[in-house]
Structure 1
Amino acid sequence: MTDILLFSYGTLQDPEVQKANFGRLLEGTADRLLGFVLSEVEITDPRVIAESGLSRHPILQPSDDLADAIEGTAFRITGDELRAADAYESADYRRVLAPLASGLEAWVYIAA
């Protein structure tokens, strides 16, 4: 396994979404992302809707208040799995490297 961390606060935590995109269930640790607030976005990609079962997905917006925190899971993944996650996320999202409450850094998808 590799040291790539992916922080998920939404559908990438769903076992069915993980199996569809990574071919396995991911192992992760609960953590928090600081300085963001949660919103929703309408998803139009039929494949993503079929895999997640949802047409509205959570999405993160930056906050000026570092006390704002989002609960989620930090998953250890491979480079190929990170590319698979990129393919799963719609154009509404962009991937950034962000610090977690644990002191680790992880890739996370936020509003584009």
Structure 2
Amino acid sequence: MSEHKRYPIKATEYLFSYGSLQDISLQHSLLGRTIHGIEEKLFGYKISKDKIGGEFLVAEPSKNTEDYISGVLYVLSHMDVSKIDSYEGPSYKRVKLTMDSGKKAWTYIRKEEEGL
């Protein structure tokens, strides 16, 4: 049987993006496809003025609980999230936070430096 069956990706992980992952060309580069999500908010966080490498956005906790970050919530496979971990690199850490909708989702925040 030469016919190749295509099996669906088991999407079990919520991932909140507030930056570069929303770029379709990056999605294709990392995951080989376009991913679609829904608008979402993360309260109690803000975008840091200090960008990673002077270029990339990074979330940080805010003292003001009314501060929030707007972004997109995706449903992805564990394998997808692993690929994104590799892309995000050592300056970020992935944490599970509660979104405005009540869903718990992974997102990337600044990795705290040792000794701080």
Q: TM-score, normalised by structure 1?
A: 0.85
Q: Is 1:69–2:68 an aligned residue pair?
A: yes
How much does 1:19 deviate? 0.4
Q: Distance in 2 between matches of 1:35 and 1:22?
A: 30
Q: Distance in 2 between matches of 1:32 and 1:18?
A: 21
Q: Distance in 2 between matches of 1:18 and 1:61?
A: 24
Q: Which residue of 2 aligns with 1:29?
A: 38
More helix by share: 1
Q: Which protein has greater RCO, CA pairs closer than 8 Å, 6+ apart?
A: 1
Q: Is 1:42–2:62 an aligned residue pair?
A: no
How much does 1:64 deviate? 2.0
Identity, in percent, stands at 32
TM-align CA RMSD: 1.1
Q: Which residue of 2 aligns with 1:19?
A: 28
Q: Distance in 2 between matches of 1:85 and 1:97?
A: 15
Letter in 1 for 2:52: V
Unaligned ranges ≥5, structure 1? 44-55
Q: TM-score, normalised by structure 2?
A: 0.82
More strand by share: 1
Question: After the TM superposition, which segments of 4 or more aligned residues of structure 1 sit over 6 Å from their partners?
Answer: none
Unaligned ranges ≥5, structure 2? 1-9, 112-116
Which protein shows a greater Rg?
A: 2
Q: How many residues are matched?
A: 100
